[in-house]
């Protein structure tokens, strides 16, 4: 059986390693082959970009060689997919090669798309790539005071990012001794400060306690760089001296070009994780259109469920479990306090008051991520 995995991010890497361990005898005998196609020979720890924007890590800490994270027996090709021929069970790559498969898993991820909003890319700071995170670091270092607005688009990667960046900005300005010169204003597109109701119930009083103002039902329409104002679809305006954005995300361009899903997100069965209408094509991580958070933990838990099921298909002829929508997210509540949200399809999150212990657990996980990517944590 030929198993082809598209994407070398967290979801694809954990899935490949999970399968390699579950199917070791089949790999050794040649009954199974696992192949990964990826766009880069480097693997990035994407959550670390948030800390890079504050100068708390350096770029080199965020990368490892992709090959070093994979179990023996996994064939890695740094040759991104360009054409999906699903009816023929084939994928063509940038180099012109063609890869056949019996089982296909697509984990291509998502990308920030600030260009969707006029003026947003040119007039705001964000942290979803190394380049933009470093630019934000420089902008924060040069900032001496004024009105800071956090503007949020949906959908976006990491559900807690808007809250984390806001609380971390508060403590950053406090540490620099300029908090009294800063007016921090948070905006969010729905009628509360976060999409998850219990998270919003925790966050809103925390913002009030810290003197952070917030505005809901604020969907970004455009940014006027000359007037230094961000305008909403609802007709309101937020003036700024520094604009921090969480841009709306889209799936990767290759998914859109192949018409696999609107906005680059593939219609996916919420429990079995197969592409709707395709029994041998699976989707995980940010690439799905599932109504759950686009987070590293989502990809992790999906990869574990999918690894168990694909291995069961090889060994038993049928899958054995459902993915239950499980997500776990840390929430940084400043420079040295954090809480977390754990939830699934049936159970909403219930964040507890932030503590230093949870923050340091998050810091430890940042170091242990590479073990997690190997599927050992």
Residues 262 and 302 in one domain: yes
Token look-up 């890695």 returns 76
Q: Is 194 a member of any domain?
A: yes
φ, ψ dihedrals at 2, nearest 5°: -100, 120
Same domain for 129 and 242? yes
Residue 17 located in a structural domain: yes
Closest CA to 69 of 147, 129, 14: 14
**Statement to judge: residues 234 and 270 lie in one domain:** no
> Considering the chain, what percentage of its residues have pLDDT values greater than 90?
93
- Across the strands, what pairs with 16? none
Residue 366's pLDDT is what?
85
Query: Mind listing the pLDDT tens digit for each residue in 27-86?
Result: 999 999 999 999 999 999 999 999 999 999 999 999 999 999 999 999 999 999 999 999
Kindly report whether the peptide bond that precedes residue 360 is cis, defined as omega within 30 degrees of 0: no
Query: What is the spatial distance between Cα 118 and Cα 116, in angstroms, rounded to a whole number?
Result: 7
CATH classification of the domain holding 227: 3.50.50.60
Residues 119 and 241 in one domain: yes
212 and 157 housed in the same domain:
yes
- d(CA 121, CA 126) in angstroms, rounded, equals 9
Please give the tally of structural domains in the chain.
Answer: 2
Domain that holds residue 267: 2-109+252-326
Query: Is there a single domain that holds both residue 193 and residue 288?
Result: no
CA dist., res. 98 & res. 341, Å (int): 42
C-alpha 172: how far from its chain's center? 23
Examine residue 170 and state whether it is found in any structural domain, yes or no. yes
Please check the confidence at residue 333 and state whether its pLDDT lies above 80. Answer: yes
Dihedral, 300, 302, 305, 307 alpha carbons, nearest 10: -70
Domain membership flag for residue 287: yes
- The chain-wide mean pLDDT, for the chain, equals 96
Q: Is residue 360 part of a domain?
A: no
- Could you give the CA distance from residue 343 to residue 329 in angstroms, rounded to a whole number? 9
Quick check: is 358 in a domain? no
Q: Using the 3D structure, point to which of 200, 217, 246 is the last residue of a domain.
A: 246
pLDDT value, residue 375: 76
pTM score = 0.95
Between 323 and 373, the higher pLDDT residue: 323
Percent of the chain with pLDDT over 70: 100
How far is residue 230's CA from residue 149's CA, in Å, rounded to a whole number? Answer: 9
């Amino acid at each position: 059986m030929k198993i082809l995995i598209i994407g070398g991010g967290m979801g694809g890497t954990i899935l490949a390693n999970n399968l390699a361990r579950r199917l070791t005898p089949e790999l050794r005998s040649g009954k199974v082959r696992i192949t990964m196609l990826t766009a880069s020979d480097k693997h990035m720890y994407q959550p670390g970009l948030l800390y890079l924007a504050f100068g708390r890590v350096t770029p080199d800490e965020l990368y490892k060689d992709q090959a070093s994270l994979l179990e023996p027996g996994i064939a890695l090709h740094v040759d991104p997919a360009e054409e999906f021929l699903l009816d023929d069970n084939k994928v063509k790559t940038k180099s012109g090669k063609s890869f056949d498969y019996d089982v296909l898993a697509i984990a291509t991820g998502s990308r920030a798309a600030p260009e969707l909003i006029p003026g947003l890319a040119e007039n705001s700071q964000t942290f979803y790539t190394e380049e933009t995170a470093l630019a934000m670091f420089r902008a924060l270092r040069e900032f001496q005071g004024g009105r800071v607005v956090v503007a949020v688009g949906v959908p976006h990667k990491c559900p807690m990012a808007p809250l984390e960046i806001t609380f971390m900005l508060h403590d950053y300005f406090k540490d620099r001794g300029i908090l009294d010169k800063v007016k921090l204003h948070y905006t969010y597109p729905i009628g509360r400060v976060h999409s998850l109701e219990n998270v919003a119930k925790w966050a809103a009083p925390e913002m009030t306690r810290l003197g952070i103002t917030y505005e809901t039902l604020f969907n970004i329409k455009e940014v006027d760089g000359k007037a230094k104002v961000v305008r909403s679809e609802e007709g309101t305006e937020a003036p700024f001296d520094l604009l921090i954005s969480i841009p709306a995300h889209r799936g990767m361009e290759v998914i859109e070009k192949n018409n696999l899903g609107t906005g680059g997100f593939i219609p996916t069965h919420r429990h079995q994780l197969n592409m709707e209408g395709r029994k041998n094509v699976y989707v995980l991580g940010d690439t799905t259109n599932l109504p759950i958070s686009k987070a590293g933990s989502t990809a992790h838990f999906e990869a574990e469920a999918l690894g168990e099921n694909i291995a069961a298909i090889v060994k038993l002829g049928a899958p054995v479990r459902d993915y239950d929508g499980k997500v776990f997210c840390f929430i940084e509540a400043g420079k040295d306090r954090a809480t977390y949200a754990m939830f699934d399809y049936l159970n909403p999150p219930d964040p507890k008051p932030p503590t230093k212990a949870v923050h340091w657990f998050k810091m430890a996980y940042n170091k242990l991520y590479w073990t997690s990517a190997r599927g050992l944590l």
